[in-house]
Structure 1
Amino acid sequence: MDGAIPYVRAEGDPYALGLQHGRRRAAALQDFVGDSLCRLNLLLPRPVDEAALAPTVAAYRAAIEAAVPDLAAETEGLAAGAGLSVAQAYLLQLRREVLGYRKVPSAGDCTTYARSGAVPGQEPVLAQTVDLNGDLDDQITVLDLARSGSPRRSLLLSFGGLLGYLGLNSSGLAVGLNLVLGGRWRPGVPPYLAIRHLLDSADDVTQALALLRTLPLASSRSLTLCDARRVVCVEHLDGEWRETEGTQSAHTNHFLHPDFAARDEINVFARRSSVKRLDAARAALAELGADAGPERHFSVLAAPPICVPGNGDVRRERTVAAAVLLPARGELHLRPGDPSKSSTHIFRLEHR
């Protein structure tokens, strides 16, 4: 995949943002919902249908409405704009939670690293691969959103109708993520929506951390928060949070904080890949100069073991995108699909 990347620029109240997003992506989202139910039935051990998922969707919807009502309203707008039911629009937000986690061999998942601007001559940067199953590179969309009444815009990489995934805002905050496995996943705010909430609401890492701790996160995850002064990796497990801070950070798919390490549910095959990719990311950080530009970061993200190639199995995680976020500039540099085979697309926040 290396053609034009769908781009949605929207302004207005939450419902209007979702409405514009839905209208722009209506045909693609209808096709995705109709494709083995958002491709869930290509990945789950047993087929499901909307009726079977209705209680799960309703439970998550209630949690989202209570914790992040603006995103609940935006989801309703997305449904109206795309010609979907509200339940289908919620299902688009909940795919990862519906999939849950299984202790099966895996070649990889996302690799993330970040640097703050605290070192002289170094601008803040957050770089990561996006490794997903389901062949989701055809669902990539970039969202540039301005909510009424907010002083900031958000620029996000999204997949298949998601209101959030990873991104940055016009205040200079960037947020990336990694899947980590553990604890009980339960109805709550999916981490992708939590990231969107942080970008809409926080000016910096300090504010984002305070907001994050108020959210009933649905599942285990690691988030990397980056601004001009700080880089913090925060891990979530069963309602608990652990932070690690430095001028730079790297994370893959196993828990790094010692308080959580013994509760890690990653299987031995996936852990081997995770450790290997983490070592490679840390080595790259040690070698990258303070003046390294986006293309230098892509040379790291596009090389093995960080870049995980596909093998034709839709159930297997592979690298479906790589992103370099420059929050001080308001820029998202993106390579869709396998980053070793695609060119860079640059998206900028125009009104900062």
Structure 2
Amino acid sequence: MPGRPEMPTPPEVAHIVARGEPYDLGLAHGAALKERLRAFLDDGVARLNHLLPDPVSVAGLSGTLAAHRAHITRSTPRLAEEIAGLAAGAGLTPDEATLLQLRREIMGYRRIPTRGDCTTYARPGLLAQTVDLNGDLDDQIAVLDVGQRGRRALVLSFAGLLGYLGVNDRGLAVGLNLVLGGRWGPGVPPYLIIRQLLDTADSVESAVAVLRSLPFASSRTIVLADAVTTACVEVVGDEYRVLGARESVHTNHFLDPDFVPRDELNVFARNSSLRRLRTAESALRDLPADADPEQHFALLSQPPIRVPDDGDIRRERTVAAVVLDPVNGALHLRPGDPLLAGTLTHTL
């Protein structure tokens, strides 16, 4: 009987512990990844020029970056300070450090056929998801252990992001899915909004309240779990729809009836999203309530949820899988292809 494929050399996962005020957190993050971030930015402007039809430059994006930075500074001033610290620690310009937070917004809508994007599900006390990205970003994975004002959070990060997904010491786990709709423009990028949730919210209910107070730069679904409840919050422009259920599953198409007609996902990506949603829903029903992280990783590693590498940097593939335990403050991570990777565990 064929066994599990031989594990390749796993991608290096930086583990960065930072404490103090926001500037201090960014300074530690930037200093730890100084060489990696410089090389990443020099690789086709954070690899954007490997993905976009027309080349971009930091100088050419300066107006866009300034417009977003104004919103970040006004709405999340502590995160603006942390970005300044990141720039200082890594030897980057303010525009370069801001660009790292806004890569997805700069890419904008991508209507080319795709095979996947993140698949996320949540139960009370658990949130699990694949991370499907283009740009070959599995070499940019970091886990941030950040502490400030008596709070701590574990954050999965890629290439200098202050936030992507994570869990905090107040019992909240936060994940996400890309959805396409509405106008994308100056605002706070969703990855920073997720970090804001981890820094300030204590429950699904309080997280929803924080989400409603912030101007999103782009459409997204935010998936939330605490010890007793879950929710998916779909965001288009300044409109929000909260889908509450004991078990929440989301992929990359809108589920709320009000948003379905506004979905801009192309038909190929929508078909992939529907397949992954149905597979995850079915597999989750069969998974016992007390399933351990390895059982969840087995679910996340099955097709079509796991999207393998086809060698095309422009296409999304699964670059990590995560199981978050908000009750025990744990982040379980399989970096790279989850079918081939071992599990790393970080705890608060």
Fold agreement, TM-score > 0.5: yes
Please tell me whether the aligned partners of residues 168 and 326 of structure 2 are also in contact (alpha carbons under 8 angstroms): yes
- Structure 1 partner of 2:59: 51
2:323 counterpart of 1:324: yes
- Structure 1 partner of 2:341: 342
- Structure 2 partner of 1:76: 84
- The alpha carbon displacement at 1:5 in A equals 1.6
Distance 1:20 1:252 in 2: 34
Superimposed CA distance per residue, residues 154-210 of structure 1 (whole angstroms, 9 cap, x where no aligned partner): 101000000000000000100000000011001000000000000000111111111
Segments of structure 2 that go 5 or more residues without pairing to the other structure are 1-8
Superimposed CA distance per residue, residues 225-267 of structure 1 (whole angstroms, 9 cap, x where no aligned partner): 1001110110001210001111111000000000100000000
- The alpha carbon displacement at 1:3 in A equals 5.0
- Structure 2 partner of 1:146: 147
Superimposed CA distance per residue, residues 18-74 of structure 1 (whole angstroms, 9 cap, x where no aligned partner): 001001110101111111100000001100111110100010001100000000000
- Structure 1 partner of 2:27: 19
2:126 counterpart of 1:125: yes
Q: 2:42 aligns with which of 34, 38, 49?
A: 34
2:180 counterpart of 1:162: no
2:121 counterpart of 1:102: no
- Structure 2 partner of 1:213: 212
Please tell me whether the aligned partners of residues 23 and 85 of structure 2 are also in contact (alpha carbons under 8 angstroms): yes
Please tell me whether the aligned partners of residues 11 and 138 of structure 2 are also in contact (alpha carbons under 8 angstroms): no
Distance 2:295 2:256 in 1: 29
Distance 1:51 1:329 in 2: 45
- Structure 2 partner of 1:178: 177
- Structure 2 partner of 1:291: 290
Secondary structure of 2:259's counterpart equals helix
Distance 1:4 1:336 in 2: 8
Aligned residues: 340
- Structure 2 partner of 1:8: 16
- The alpha carbon displacement at 1:4 in A equals 4.4
Distance 2:161 2:259 in 1: 28
- Structure 1 partner of 2:138: 137
Distance 1:94 1:282 in 2: 31
- The alpha carbon displacement at 1:102 in A equals 2.2
- The alpha carbon displacement at 1:285 in A equals 1.2
Distance 1:284 1:82 in 2: 43
RMSD (Å) for aligned C-alpha atoms: 0.7
Secondary structure of 2:68's counterpart equals helix
Which AA in structure 2 matches 1:45? Answer: P
Distance 1:103 1:298 in 2: 29
TM-score, normalising length: structure 1: 0.96
Distance 1:86 1:49 in 2: 14
Superimposed CA distance per residue, residues 279-315 of structure 1 (whole angstroms, 9 cap, x where no aligned partner): 0110011100011000000000011100001111000
Superimposed CA distance per residue, residues 302-329 of structure 1 (whole angstroms, 9 cap, x where no aligned partner): 1110000111100000000000001101
Secondary structure of 2:258's counterpart equals helix
- Structure 2 partner of 1:262: 261
- The alpha carbon displacement at 1:104 in A equals 1.1
The list of structure 1 runs, each at least 4 consecutive aligned residues, that deviate by more than 4 angstroms after superposition, is: none
Please tell me whether the aligned partners of residues 183 and 237 of structure 2 are also in contact (alpha carbons under 8 angstroms): yes
Distance 1:290 1:16 in 2: 40
Distance 2:267 2:94 in 1: 39
Secondary structure of 2:98's counterpart equals helix
Distance 2:87 2:296 in 1: 37
- Structure 2 partner of 1:195: 194
- Structure 2 partner of 1:121: none
- The alpha carbon displacement at 1:144 in A equals 0.3
Segments of structure 1 that go 5 or more residues without pairing to the other structure are 117-123
Distance 2:110 2:98 in 1: 23
Distance 1:37 1:334 in 2: 28
TM-score, normalising length: structure 2: 0.97
Secondary structure of 2:213's counterpart equals coil
Distance 1:41 1:318 in 2: 18
